[in-house]
Structure 1
Amino acid sequence: MDTQLEAAFDEFGKKKKLTAQDAVAMERAVSAEVEEARCLDALARELECSALSD
């Protein structure tokens, strides 16, 4: 997880007083969502480049 996202997550966890177990589960879920978004962005860029080269 990048540092800016990690800092925001830590601040949210402190405000909501998450248990350690809940914080870990939430961090995993957020990390998975961020990774999926990065993959979709990379795919969109590749498809755009492919469409432009046709």
Structure 2
Amino acid sequence: QQLGVLRDEALVTTRREGKQIFYSIASSKAMAVMQVLYQLYCEKPNGATS
């Protein structure tokens, strides 16, 4: 249901391969938000190990 809402709002595109459906971010604004969130919460600080 949530992916359907994102698709209806043109935030994602879909590609079907057999029974699988692959989703990709279609909106440059949504991608920019995802990049900021990744930088804040997923990247390791400089010099960090492991």
Structure showing the higher strand proportion among its residues:
2
Shared fold by TM > 0.5?
A: no
Q: Which has the larger radius of gyration?
A: 1
| TM-score, length of structure 1 as denominator length | 0.36
For CA contacts below 8 A with separation 6 or more, give which structure has more relative contact order: 1
| TM-score, length of structure 2 as denominator length | 0.38
Structure showing the higher helix proportion among its residues:
1
